[in-house]
Amino acid sequence: MSTELFFLYDTHCPWSYATTPLVEAIHNDLPEIDINLWHCAHFCGEDESKVTKKQITEVKSLTNISCSPRYIEKLSQAKDSTLCANLMTWAANKTPKQALTLLKSLQKIHFEGANELTNEQDVADIISKLKLSPPSKVLKSDKLTNDAEAQVHEIFALQEIIATEAIPALLLAIDDQLILLNHNFYLDEPSAIVDAVKLEIEKSTAL
């Protein structure tokens, strides 16, 4: 039986930030499940690419995440996750064992360090610490790489199947069965989603 988890997210999305610990819990407790980190590249620097204080308040009321005062002060700025989409797509393809660590590091310095992650210098320290060697085209913020753009189209196709464009989304794929996990139930206790995943696997095995 083949089992995979698909995490549709954006590095600059606060709800994605709150959901990442659930992915980590599944990864730690069920290492046999392949984790697919798919960056949606939702934030593109336009006026609609903003996070509101209301969103942050809602996320913080349901989770244990923290956002720095400096991050809150910069909410009026439109977010652009193009560079992160390029970097995370490259990492997921080339160094998958480090991809989740990279994602957590990027989210931490964005939400807690108020780093906008829009240029090569913004991510230089993380890349150095993780000893990554992405090509220069990956560290651009003016356009998506071919790989990142192709992944976005795959996400669009997957969103049609699950009939929602909402992010984040956690999808459990067991052989040819696709199960949309309701991550909202587990935001305040990430470890609880492990039991939910185990239950879905048991149900599929019993069929």
Strands 3-9 vs 177-181: parallel, antiparallel or unpaired? unpaired
Q: What is the pLDDT of residues 18-70, one digit of tens each?
A: 999 999 999 999 999 999 999 999 998 776 678 999 999 999 999 988 899 99
Mean of all residue pLDDT scores within the chain: 94
Amino acid occupying residue 109 = I
Q: What is the mean pLDDT of residues 119-143?
A: 96
Q: What is the mean pLDDT of residues 93-105?
A: 97
Quote the domain boundaries for residue 103. 3-206
Q: What is the mean pLDDT of residues 81-107?
A: 97
Q: What is the mean pLDDT of residues 92-112?
A: 97
Strands 34-39 vs 177-181: parallel, antiparallel or unpaired? unpaired
**Do 151 and 84 form a contact (C-beta atoms < 8 A)?**
no
Instruction: Tell whether omega for the bond before 134 is within 30 degrees of 0, i.e. cis.
Output: no
Name the domain count of the chain.
Answer: 1
Q: What is the CATH number of the domain that holds 62?
A: 3.40.30.10
Q: Tell me the sheet residues that pair with 170.
A: 7, 181
Cα distances from 7 to residues 39, 53, 68, 122, 139, in angstroms, run: 8, 25, 25, 24, 22
Q: What is the pLDDT of residues 149-178, one digit of tens each?
A: 999 999 999 999 889 889 999 999 998 899
Distance, in Å, from the CA atom of 7 to the CA atom of 5, rounded to the nearest integer, reads 6
Q: What is the pLDDT of residues 173-199, one digit of tens each?
A: 998 899 999 999 999 999 999 999 999
pLDDT for 64: 84
Distance, in Å, from the CA atom of 190 to the CA atom of 68, rounded to the nearest integer, reads 22
